Amino acid sequence: MARSPSSSAGLSVRPGGEVGPTPYAVSVLELVARIPRGKVMTYGDVAEYLGSGSARTVGMVMAKHGHEVPWQRVVQASGRPAEPLLEKALGMLRREGCPVRGERVVLAECRWDGMSDQQG
């Protein structure tokens, strides 16, 4: 039987009543932790890089566990950070050197492909 997206995202209650990230959620968080300063990935980029899940599943992981990693470096496909922390994320990204125009990062200039831990 297939697990629900929320279960695979690490949002389910584990045996013993503990709530913690699943292996998939851990892999999302490990990848997000590697995104260099001044770079971003979209939710879909993260799922594609990992070879499983979807933008929505990654978003669910970030909503639940994102505070553990540089969450501001994961944005929507439009380049816009998610609500309700839009302004906070944009400010953090600007300070990191990520190009921002309006309420969006310039993906063409700051999108990270996951292949290098160096800023480029």
**Can you say whether the dihedral through the CA atoms of 104, 67, 42, 1 is positive or negative?**
negative
pTM for the full predicted model = 0.82
Neighbour-count burial for 34-47, b at 16+ CB within 10 Å, e otherwise: bbbebbbbbbbbbb
pLDDT of residue 120: 41
pLDDT band of residue 118 (cuts 50, 70, 90) is low
pLDDT in tens, 53-78: 999 999 999 999 999 899 999 999 99
CATH fold group of domain 5-9+22-110? Arc Repressor Mutant, subunit A (1.10.10)
Distance CA 97, CA 13 (A): 38
- 78 CA to centre of own chain: 14
Mode of pairing for the β-strands spanning 100-101 and 74-75: unpaired
pLDDT in tens, 101-112: 999 999 999 999
